Amino acid sequence: MGNCGSCGSGAGPYAEGRELVEFVYNAHDGALRMRPLPNGGLTTSCQGCGGAFVLTTFVGLCPHCDGVHAVSPPRSDDPANIQFAGVGFRLP
């Protein structure tokens, strides 16, 4: 993601929690959020309700509780890097 216009917010691809989710959601004028993750996605558990699911895009919802999760491109090879926006957070 390097030198993108979205990086001016202070958050970046190594932020955590809600800050990372908002960064990825807005990165490249929103073009990144729905791009598919490499290798079909990352198997994970929701950090809100604990339900298992596969994050298939850079920003996605838990199918059990609609919890918002995201991962940034430089960290998209490991489910441990998936960040959760927090209980009650909803996408715009």
Q: Where are the domains of the chain?
A: 11-84
**What percent of the chain clears pLDDT 70, i.e. is strictly above it?**
89
State pLDDT tens for residues 35-64: 999 999 999 999 999 999 999 999 999 999
Is there a contact between 70 and 58 (Cβ–Cβ < 8 Å)? yes
Average pLDDT, the chain: 91
- DSSP single-letter state for residue 37: P
Beta strand 68-70 with 59-61: parallel, antiparallel or unpaired? Answer: antiparallel
State pLDDT tens for residues 4-17: 544 445 689 999 99
Higher pLDDT, 32 or 2: 32
Amino acid at 8: G
Beta strand 68-70 with 83-84: parallel, antiparallel or unpaired? Answer: antiparallel
